[in-house]
Amino acid sequence: MLRLVSILRFIRRGTVLVGVGLAGGTVTAAGVVMLVTPGPGLLVIITGLAILSTQFAWAGRALEKMKVRARSARNKASARRCHRRTEALHPRKDTNVEGRRAPRSRADRS
């Protein structure tokens, strides 16, 4: 009876590993495709790695790296948006209506 229980645990563990591997791998692969096509690629990759990290340690390490990359992308986008907002609210004196720098006159060059 004890032998049967241990065999059933082994089968269950293998089934869980295969199921998590397939589900996480599929979601991660879909995220990689979304990097090239329209869609939230990084978020889907992070979700796939989160699924995989429930059973695999290497996926947990990869998940942490992806979280750092996602934070970096968010900060970069936020800084760019803030810069645009500042430029819109406080335009430079040496720019024309279209946001381009106005050509300097001869009097300004000296």
Confidence of residue 105 (pLDDT cuts 50, 70, 90): low
d(CA 50, CA 24): 8
Please tell me whether the overall predicted TM-score, pTM, comes out greater than 0.85 for this model. no
Tens digits of per-residue pLDDT, 3-33?
A: 888 888 888 888 888 999 999 999 999 999 9
Give 59's contacts (C-beta < 8 A, 6+ positions apart): 24, 49, 52, 53
3-state helix, strand, coil in the chain (%, to 5): 75, 0, 20
* Residue 23: per-residue pLDDT: 94
**pLDDT above 90: percentage of residues in the chain:** 24
d(CA 34, CA 29): 9
What are the tokens at 31? 């995220």
d(CA 88, CA 22): 48
Report yes or no: 51 and 27 within 8 Å, Cβ to Cβ. Answer: yes
Higher pLDDT, 25 or 90: 25
102 to 70, 96, 97: CA distances (angstroms): 38, 5, 9
